[in-house]
């Protein structure tokens, strides 16, 4: 009986989707807390939301949506056998990831500079609802940022494989599944943005 | 005439047919059978460690006041006993050990969908376990919060909560990856003719379990992260002084930890569904309902977590809803019990060790399940919440249930992998001693709980002393029986009589391969033409 | 070994069109947030976010072209999360 390496593209995709479900539920726990505390502190959440920079948030949203488009285009490119396009598109996706993280760094530094961070003087002595809002903000965007980093690393790794020809039109589960992971990162932000920046 | 010797030392099998030898050939193996045995020995080692801790706890509780340790040690001991038993034995144990050993064979596959991910799961488990153990011996010492890590104590105690909880997080990730692997495997790698309606019930139970692992464990993950954040960053999300709500910790914790008990029991029930028909020589009664009930238990079991919180300050509406749903989840469990008993009816019963453990599972789990209804009904729960009654209840279900099923599975399947068998009489004697010891130990606890003795208390009123003494003596009898059972089993696996290809007469695919199985499991992918308990169709008398 | 069925290839043009729609919806959600909707502002925000994620899932993640199984499983996962949050509100809303 042949023991040759046997690839199951649909199986790999199923496995990736199942893993994405776990990520959804992981962030879901934070959204659960958000929902409960929003119901309890509607006013303080508005006040907190107004402290966040809508411009930065909107730009970051557009950056991630664009990066998602690039990742999806990279899948199209690999399916059409356009190796150079794939690498270029993945490169642009990762570039967007870096821009996102850069903006995030700005935002966080600004907040921390204004004494807004978990356990800070301002938050421990101010209205409790605001402390809750910002604790959730840091935890959620922090966990999300970590996933942006991981996703970017994965796509960089995939781009190298594409460059070497190991990922190609006949064998692109790595790219497809890496892109799926990236889209999840985008999806989480699609919910973070209005819930934190636009609850005004 | 002597039977051909077919143990792992004598013939070519997964033990030796890869040409690779030494430890590296095991801890870097992607063969589901080797990984299954790696899990088996790891979880068994942790189980025995936690048994010793449990015995020490019972010695402390043997008499009122201080017996052998102080209160801090006692708190740490019951925490670590729980953490090891739950996160390092019973949650990973069934899927990791028997799921890995048996499931691919039962569906006619060569291995799981992601063999390297499977190995990674075991490594994550070991790394998580190492981190948990490190937490016990470093810094300010082992956590003393109970395995449930409730806030506010877990936010404030100086003990090694963060490190322990991080270890649990890693072990949880291992569980998630196993769930992903098993769901994909069962969807994609079934052999030709192995339809969903011909799947062995053990596989159905692992499928339902895998879904719980996928959908519930991430909530544990985020909850543990939140505990570390409370401690390390002062996020205050569970601190009322900072606007937080301690009940939110309880909700998040139990959203995972209640479904987790179904991770513990579903595969165990699957084992019982395998053993009962084989040792009754009768197809299982109501196959479809048993398969369906596994899914129903997983689904309904995800709706009831609030029944751990009746006395927490939760709303009356929530108490009502969760209490009602808790009764609903008892129904599919009862369906299984009825169907197992119906399978026995007019069967040709043979009482070997696997069957004896399976039959006692039905009794002990039923007692656990019925006491669960007392806990599930809010009105009665008020009186027994946080008493020894709860401790009795869950030991009946987890130990009398899952534990006995695990031991039954060991006797049923391990001889297939070792090619040698344990001796029946010592196994049955050991079982009998265990059964007596078990009931003395844990039934006493239920009576104590009814009388008002709290759980997790270092000391108790003098009126509780006689039953505590009885319970402790029961634990020694239980331990003696367990020792006899395990020594007899392992002696048999190493040096016992030769086992043969299918001495139990099972019709599922693991019995169709050689003993022990070769690495590739099947020479050619099997084509399945009969159901898993269709002995006639499989040509077995 | 190549995959069993023809891969569904989504053209660059279609992907760009989806992207433009997503940007438009982003603009919409920012605009809506400035209206005085009171307590409904959350539901409005969630509705638009759901529409955006629907597009990402259907087109960027190819769900529109996948089989029934994957769609069902996604539904199960979302339902599970909805139940976790919803049932918690049985407590939080009625204290």
Burial profile B212-231: b = 16 or more Cβ within 10 angstroms, e = fewer? bbbbbbbbbbbbbbbbbbbb
Q: Please give the Cα distance from B42 to B100 (Å, whole number).
A: 14
Which pLDDT tens digit goes with each residue over C46-92?
A: 999 999 999 999 999 999 999 999 999 999 999 999 999 999 999 99
The answer to whether A63 touches A103, Cβ cutoff 8 Å, is yes
Chain B residues within 8 A of C86 when measuring between CB atoms: none
Q: Is A107 on the interface with B (CB under 8 A)?
A: no
| pLDDT band at residue A46 using 50, 70 and 90 as cut-offs | very high
Q: Judge: B188–A3 Cβ closer than 8 Å, yes or no.
A: no
| pLDDT band at residue A2 using 50, 70 and 90 as cut-offs | very low
Q: Please give the Cα distance from B248 to B257 (Å, whole number).
A: 14
Q: Is C95 on the interface with B (CB under 8 A)?
A: yes
Q: Please give the Cα distance from B80 to B75 (Å, whole number).
A: 9
Q: Please give the Cα distance from B265 to B396 (Å, whole number).
A: 11
Tell me the domain boundaries of chain A.
15-197
Q: Is A18 on the interface with C (CB under 8 A)?
A: yes
Chain A residues within 8 A of C11 when measuring between CB atoms: 76
Q: Is B218 on the interface with A (CB under 8 A)?
A: yes
SS3 sequence of B24-92: HHHHCCCCHHHHHHHHHHHHHHHHHHHHHHHHHHHHHCCCCCCCCCCHHHHHHHHHHHHHHHHHHHHHH
Q: Judge: B306–C84 Cβ closer than 8 Å, yes or no.
A: no
Q: Judge: C94–B318 Cβ closer than 8 Å, yes or no.
A: yes
Query: B191 or A4: which carries more pLDDT confidence?
Result: B191
Which pLDDT tens digit goes with each residue over B437-496?
A: 999 999 999 999 999 999 999 999 999 999 999 999 999 999 999 999 999 999 999 999
The answer to whether C3 touches B188, Cβ cutoff 8 Å, is no
Query: What tokens were used for B86?
Result: 């739950």
**Residue B4 has what DSSP assignment?**
P
Q: Please give the Cα distance from B348 to B361 (Å, whole number).
A: 19
Which pLDDT tens digit goes with each residue over B382-427?
A: 999 999 999 999 999 999 999 999 999 999 999 999 999 999 999 9
DSSP-assigned beta bridge partners for residue B454 = B387
Q: Judge: B306–C87 Cβ closer than 8 Å, yes or no.
A: yes
Chain C residues within 8 A of B313 when measuring between CB atoms: 95
| Topology (CATH) of A15-197 | 1.20.120
The answer to whether B80 touches B159, Cβ cutoff 8 Å, is no
Q: Judge: B184–A18 Cβ closer than 8 Å, yes or no.
A: yes
* CA–CA distances in Å: residue B453 to residues B69, B78, B449, B450, B461: 20, 16, 5, 7, 8
Residues 6 or more apart in contact with residue B227 via CB below 8 angstroms: B149, B151, B154, B155, B161, B162, B165, B249
Burial profile B430-445: b = 16 or more Cβ within 10 angstroms, e = fewer? bbebbbebbbbbbbbb
* CA–CA distances in Å: residue A173 to residues A7, B259, C10: 9, 32, 16
Q: What is the pLDDT of residue B6?
A: 74
Chain C residues within 8 A of A62 when measuring between CB atoms: 23, 26
Query: What tokens were used for B376?
Result: 């599930």
Q: Judge: B303–C91 Cβ closer than 8 Å, yes or no.
A: no
Dihedral sign from CA coordinates of A89, A94, A99, A100: positive
Provide the 3-class DSSP secondary structure of residue B325.
helix
Length of chain C: 95
Query: How open is the CA angle C43-C49-C55, to the nearest 5 degrees?
Result: 140
Q: Residues 141 to 160 of A: which have CB under 8 A from any B CB?
A: 143
Helix (H) or strand (E) holding B262: helix B246-280
Q: Judge: A21–C74 Cβ closer than 8 Å, yes or no.
A: yes
Residue among B247, B248, B316 whose CB faces C94 most closely: B316
Phi, psi angle pair for B420, to nearest 5°: -135, 155
Task: Decide if pLDDT at C1 tops 70.
Answer: no
SS3 sequence of B485-530: HHHHHHHHHHHCCECCCCCCCCCCHHHCCCCCCCCCCCCCCCECCC
**Residue A2 has what DSSP assignment?**
-
Provide the 3-class DSSP secondary structure of residue A86.
helix
Q: Please give the Cα distance from B70 to C27 (Å, whole number).
A: 64
> Which subunits sit against B, judged by 3+ Cβ pairs under 8 A?
A, C
Residues 6 or more apart in contact with residue B328 via CB below 8 angstroms: B300, B303
Chain C residues within 8 A of B315 when measuring between CB atoms: 90-95
Tell me how crowded residue B150 is: count the other CB atoms within 10 A of its CB.
16
DSSP-assigned beta bridge partners for residue B192 = B527
Chain B residues within 8 A of A10 when measuring between CB atoms: 188
Alpha carbon of C18: minimum distance to chain B alpha carbons (Å)? 30
- Judged on CB neighbours under 10 Å (0-12, 13-18, 19+), B176 is buried
**Residue B420 has what DSSP assignment?**
B
User: What stretches of B281-315 show up as alpha helix (H) in DSSP?
Assistant: 287-300
Q: Judge: B236–A8 Cβ closer than 8 Å, yes or no.
A: no
Alpha carbon of A84: minimum distance to chain B alpha carbons (Å)? 30
Ranges assigned E (strand) in B145-202? none
Chain B residues within 8 A of C85 when measuring between CB atoms: none
Tell me how crowded residue C4 is: count the other CB atoms within 10 A of its CB.
8
Helices (H) and strands (E) in chain B, counts: 18, 0
Report chain B's mean pLDDT, rounded to a whole number: 96
Report chain A's mean pLDDT, rounded to a whole number: 95
Task: Decide if pLDDT at A3 tops 80.
Answer: no
Query: What tokens were used for B430?
Result: 């050991």
Q: Is A80 on the interface with C (CB under 8 A)?
A: yes
Which pLDDT tens digit goes with each residue over A69-102?
A: 999 999 999 999 999 999 999 999 999 999 999 9
Q: Please give the Cα distance from B327 to B329 (Å, whole number).
A: 5
Q: Judge: B321–C83 Cβ closer than 8 Å, yes or no.
A: no
Q: What is the pLDDT of residue C36?
A: 81
Chain A residues within 8 A of C82 when measuring between CB atoms: none
Residue carrying structure tokens 């238990």: B297
> Which subunits sit against C, judged by 3+ Cβ pairs under 8 A?
A, B
Q: What is the pLDDT of residue B267?
A: 98
- Among B98, B82, B95, residue whose Cα is nearest residue B47: B82
Burial profile A142-177: b = 16 or more Cβ within 10 angstroms, e = fewer? ebbbebbeebbebbbebbebbeeeebeeebbbbbbb
The answer to whether B442 touches B399, Cβ cutoff 8 Å, is yes
Per-block average pLDDT, block size 10, for chain B (541 residues)?
65 89 94 98 98 98 96 97 98 98 98 98 98 92 96 95 97 98 98 97 98 98 97 96 97 98 97 98 97 97 97 97 96 97 97 98 97 96 97 98 98 97 98 98 98 96 98 98 98 95 96 95 95 93 79
Find the residue in B nearest to A137 (Cα). Answer: B235
What is the longest distance spanned by two Cα atoms in chain B? Answer: 80
Omega into B516 within 30° of 0, i.e. cis? yes
Alpha carbon of B118: minimum distance to chain C alpha carbons (Å)? 22
Chain A residues within 8 A of C80 when measuring between CB atoms: 25
ipTM: 0.95
Query: How open is the CA angle C71-C74-C77, to the nearest 5 degrees?
Result: 155
Q: Please give the Cα distance from B15 to B479 (Å, whole number).
A: 32
A12, A26, A47, best to mutate vs chain B, most B CBs in 10 Å: A26
Q: Residues 520 to 539 of B: which have CB under 8 A from any A CB?
A: 520, 522-525
The answer to whether B69 touches B77, Cβ cutoff 8 Å, is yes
Chain A residues within 8 A of B113 when measuring between CB atoms: 8, 11, 15
- Judged on CB neighbours under 10 Å (0-12, 13-18, 19+), B525 is middle
Query: How open is the CA angle B289-B294-B297, to the nearest 5 degrees?
Result: 110
Q: Please give the Cα distance from A36 to B273 (Å, whole number).
A: 42
C87, C89, C93, best to mutate vs chain B, most B CBs in 10 Å: C87
Provide the 3-class DSSP secondary structure of residue B145.
coil
Q: Judge: B523–A10 Cβ closer than 8 Å, yes or no.
A: no
Q: Judge: A8–B523 Cβ closer than 8 Å, yes or no.
A: no
**Which domains occur in chain B, in start order?**
29-511 (1.20.210.10)
């Amino acid at each position: 009986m042949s023991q040759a390496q046997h690839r199951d593209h649909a199986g790999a995709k199923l496995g990736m989707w199942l893993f994405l479900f776990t990520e959804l539920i992981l962030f879901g726990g934070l959204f659960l807390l958000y929902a409960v505390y929003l119901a309890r502190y509607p006013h303080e959440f508005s006040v907190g939301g107004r402290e966040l920079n809508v411009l930065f948030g909107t730009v970051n949203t557009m950056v991630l949506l664009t990066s998602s488009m690039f990742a999806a285009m990279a899948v199209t490119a690999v399916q059409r056998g356009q190796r150079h396009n794939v690498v270029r598109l993945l490169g642009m996706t990762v570039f967007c990831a870096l821009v996102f993280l850069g903006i995030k760094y700005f935002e966080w530094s600004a907040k921390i500079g204004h004494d807004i961070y978990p356990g800070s003087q301002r938050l421990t002595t101010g209205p409790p609802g605001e402390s809750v809002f910002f604790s959730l903000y840091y935890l959620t965007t922090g966990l999300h940022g970590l996933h942006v980093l991981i996703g970017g690393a994965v796509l960089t790794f995939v781009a190298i494989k594409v460059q070497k020809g190991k990922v190609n039109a006949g064998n692109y589960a790595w790219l497809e599944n890496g892109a799926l992971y990236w889209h999840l990162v985008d999806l989480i932000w699609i919910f973070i943005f209005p819930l934190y920046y636009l609850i005004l | 005439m002597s039977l051909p010797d077919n143990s792992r030392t004598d013939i070519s099998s997964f033990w030796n047919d890869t040409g690779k030898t030494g430890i590296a050939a095991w801890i870097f193996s992607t063969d589901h059978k080797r990984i299954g045995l790696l899990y088996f020995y790891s979880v068994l080692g942790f189980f025995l460690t936690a048994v010793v801790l449990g015995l020490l706890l019972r010695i402390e509780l043997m008499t009122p006041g201080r017996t052998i340790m102080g209160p801090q040690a006692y708190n740490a001991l019951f925490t670590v006993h729980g953490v090891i038993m739950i996160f390092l034995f019973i949650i990973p144990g069934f899927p990791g050990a028997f799921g890995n050993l048996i499931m691919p064979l039962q569906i006619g596959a060569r291995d799981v969908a992601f063999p390297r991910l499977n190995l990674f799961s075991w490594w994550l488990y070991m790394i998580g376990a190492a981190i948990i153990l490190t937490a016990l011996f470093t810094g300010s010492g082992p956590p003393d919060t109970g395995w449930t890590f409730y806030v506010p104590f877990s936010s404030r105690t100086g003990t090694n909560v963060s490190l322990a909880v991080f270890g649990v997080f890693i072990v949880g990730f291992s569980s998630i990856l196993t769930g992903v692997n098993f769901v994909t495997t069962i969807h994609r790698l079934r052999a030709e003719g192995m339809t969903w309606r011909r799947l062995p019930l053990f596989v159905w139970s692992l499928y339902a379990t895998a879904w719980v692992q996928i959908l519930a464990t991430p909530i544990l993950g985020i909850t543990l992260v939140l505990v570390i954040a409370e401690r390390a960053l002062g996020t205050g999300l569970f601190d009322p002084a900072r606007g937080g709500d301690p009940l939110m910790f309880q909700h998040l914790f139990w959203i995972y930890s209640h479904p987790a008990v179904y991770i513990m029991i579903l595969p165990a029930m699957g084992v019982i569904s395998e053993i009962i028909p084989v040792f009754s020589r009768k197809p299982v009664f109501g196959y479809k309902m048993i398969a369906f009930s596994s899914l129903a238990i997983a689904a309904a079991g995800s709706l009831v977590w609030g029944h751990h919180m009746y006395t927490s300050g939760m709303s009356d509406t929530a108490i009502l809803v969760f209490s009602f749903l808790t009764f609903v989840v008892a129904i599919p469990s009862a369906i299984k019990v009825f169907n197992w008993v119906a399978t026995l009816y007019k069967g040709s019963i043979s009482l070997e060790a696997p069957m004896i453990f399976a039959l006692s599972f039905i009794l002990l789990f039923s007692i656990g399940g019925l006491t669960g209804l007392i806990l599930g009904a809010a009105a009665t729960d008020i009186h027994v919440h946080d008493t020894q009654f709860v401790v009795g209840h869950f030991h009946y279900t987890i130990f009398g249930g899952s534990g006995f099923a695990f031991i039954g599975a060991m006797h049923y399947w391990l001889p297939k992998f070792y090619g040698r068998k344990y001796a029946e009489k010592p196994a049955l004697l050991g079982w009998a001693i265990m059964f007596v010891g078990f009931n003395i130990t844990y039934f006493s606890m239920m009576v104590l709980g009814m009388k008002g003795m709290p759980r997790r208390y270092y000391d108790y009123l003098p009126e509780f002393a006689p039953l505590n003494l009885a319970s402790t003596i029961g634990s020694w009898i239980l331990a003696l029986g367990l020792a006899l059972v395990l020594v007899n089993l392992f002696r048999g696996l190493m040096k016992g009589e030769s086992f043969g290809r299918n001495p139990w007469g099972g019709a599922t695919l693991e019995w169709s391969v050689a003993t022990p199985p070769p690495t590739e499991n099947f020479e050619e992918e099997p084509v399945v033409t009969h159901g898993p308990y269709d002995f006639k169709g499989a040509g077995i008398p | 070994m190549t995959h069993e069925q023809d891969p569904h290839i989504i053209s660059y043009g279609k992907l760009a069109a989806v992207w433009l729609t997503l940007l438009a919806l982003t603009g919409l959600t920012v605009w809506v947030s400035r209206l005085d909707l009171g307590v409904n502002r959350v539901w409005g925000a969630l509705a638009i976010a759901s529409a955006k994620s629907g597009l990402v899932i259907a087109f960027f993640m190819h769900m529109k072209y996948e089989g029934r199984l994957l769609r069902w499983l996604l539904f199960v996962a979302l339902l599970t999360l909805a139940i976790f949050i919803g049932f918690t509100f049985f407590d939080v809303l009625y204290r």
